[in-house]
Every structure is written in C-alpha cells, then in structure tokens.
Amino acid sequence: MPRRRMRDVQSEPANHEVEVDKVGVKDVKYPIVVRDKAKKEQHTIADINIYVNLPHQFRGTHMSRFIEVLNKHRGRMSVRTMEELLREVERALDAHSAHLEMSFPYFIEKAAPVSGAKSLMEYKCRFIVSHRDQLDFILEVNVPVTNLCPCSKEISEQSAHNQRSIVTVQLTFKEFVWIEDVIALVEQSASCELYSLLKREDEKYVTERAYSRAMFAEDVVREIAQKLESDANITWFTVASENFESIHNHNAYAFVEKKLRK
C-alpha cells in the first residue's frame, strides 16, 4: 500500500508577515575538538545552540535538519569547520544567515606554585559564531581568580577580606588566539590565580600573594583592557569582572568594551 504524502506544515505560509531573526535548536550536547596549545587537540563536550533566520513567508523551520547537519560533521567539529557547517545549515533551511553558540569546559594541567603538585583546572569557554556573507567569530573565556579588597586591607589592622571572582573576556582577532594565552593574561592581572590542588606551602603562597596584590574589580578590568589594547592582533573585546563578595549580600561588578581596529 503506497504511503500517504505527509503535509509539510512548516513550509506553509505564515499567519503574520514577520521575519524571525533566530529559530533553531538549543542545548544540544555534542562532542567537539578544540586546539590545545600543549597537546595539539583536546576532545570535550559542548552545549550547542544553532539558529537560522526565518523569512516571513515560512510558518516554521525544520528542526531535524539542524541535527542532520551536526551529525554530518560528527568527528570533525572544530573551529576550522564552523564556516562550512553554518553554510550547510543555511542551504538546508533556505536561510540567509546562521548563528552558532558552542559552550564547553576546557581543561589545563597546572602545577601548584611551591610544591609543584599537578592537577586539572576547568575553564568555561564559548565560541559565538555568526555567518551572513562573512564569518564573525567571538571567543569567550571565563577565568576564576582570587581578588583581595584594597579598601579592607587599608582599614583593617590584622587582615583583609577576599573573594573568588569570575573574569569573562570576549574578543575578536585577526589571527588565531590560544585559549591558554587569554587565561594566562587574566590570571596575571588578578590578585592571585586559582588551583585545583594546593599543599600547605602552596596555601601560604597564594594567601600572601593575594594580600600583596590587592585589586578592586575595576582594577582588574582596567589592567586586562590595557594589555588587550596593546595587542595588534585583537580587534574588539569586552572584559567583565564579577566578585562574589564574602562580607556583602551582593556581588561587585565592572565592565569594559572597546573596538580597536578592523
């Protein structure tokens, strides 16, 4: 018995003549490969959001086609293949633009500052990629650090309060940028960097290191911004520092954005 032709509801005319800027799928977990400065490649798992524009003449998009394109790129999902992937999504969905967000954990082996004990540190990263005639790529790196309050240090006779902070850097660039280099730049700009594993001698070091480099959230974003401005490879950036306060019922926050060059 012949199969009955199924109705393609998504391709029917829309009820409203409004173009939708982004339509697609969110929170798709997928294996990807990221360039690793020490080991050439790092395999990790990403949460992927992928969208296209939807012209006003179509009622809906075909969700399955996004997953079909992702599956075609299985085993070769990397920065180098993103433009090809987005072009393929556009063709599959008759779209003029495509957008991809890829959030993933990135791991670096770090040695404790005194004992040398090695452990893995996790950094949350994100690729934000858009394609409409050309490819626009933003790298986002979130770096946890320690910051010690200069005001608390100044007014207290015996101690100073500190807090763990998250510094978020987004940037665009001309040539390839290593995630590790962004992390190092941020860690060198805070009161002290974090480690997964510390022995007693390491705890003494990081406590005293932070005390000797008291930093406001404002100090941190300014120092990072100054370093990024001096890098001819960087074309645009944002820097945000959020301190998870230990003595207040709120967080401290500072933000800088600069467009440097084309």
pLDDT along the chain (262 residues), means of 10: 54 60 91 91 93 69 81 74 88 89 96 97 96 91 93 82 93 94 97 96 94 92 96 96 86 92 68
Please report whether residue 106 resides in a domain: yes
Q: CB within 8 A of 117, min separation 6: which ones?
A: 111, 197, 198, 199, 202
In terms of domains, do 167 and 224 share one? yes
Q: Which residue range(s) make up the domain with 84?
A: 17-110
pLDDT of residue 255: 97
**Same domain (yes/no): 28, 77:** yes
CATH of the domain at 200: 3.10.270.10
Dihedral of the alpha carbons of 178, 184, 187, 193, in degrees to the nearest 10? 110
The per-residue pLDDT for 66 is: 86
pLDDT at 9: 43
Q: Which of 135, 140, 110 is nearest to 46 (CA)?
A: 140
Residue 9 falls inside a structural domain: no
Residue 4 lies in a domain: no
Asked if residue 133 belongs to a domain, the reply is: no
Please check whether residues 116 and 239 belong to one and the same domain.
yes
- The answer on 170 and 87 residing in a single domain is no
Domain annotation covers residue 239: yes
Q: Are residues 96 and 209 in the same domain?
A: no
Q: Which of 88, 110, 132 is the last residue of a domain?
A: 110
148 shares a domain with 212: yes
Q: Number of structural domains, the chain?
A: 2
* Domain co-membership, 101 together with 150: no
Question: What is the predicted pLDDT for the residue at 92?
Answer: 86
Whether 99 and 152 map to the same domain: the answer is: no
Give the whole-angstrom CA distance, residue 211 versus residue 191.
Answer: 7
Distance (Å, whole) CA 178 – CA 120: 18
Pair 100, 117 in one domain: no
Whether residues 228 and 239 fall in one domain = yes
| Domain contains 12 | no
Q: Which residues of 79-117 form beta strands (DSSP E)?
A: 98-111
- Measured CA to CA, the distance from residue 70 to residue 51 in angstroms comes to 12
Residue 178: partners with Cβ closer than 8 Å, 6 or more residues away: 35, 37
Both tokens assigned to 110: 């770090």
Q: Are residues 116 and 202 in the same domain?
A: yes
pLDDT for residue 112: 97
Q: Do 182 and 261 fall within a single domain? A: yes
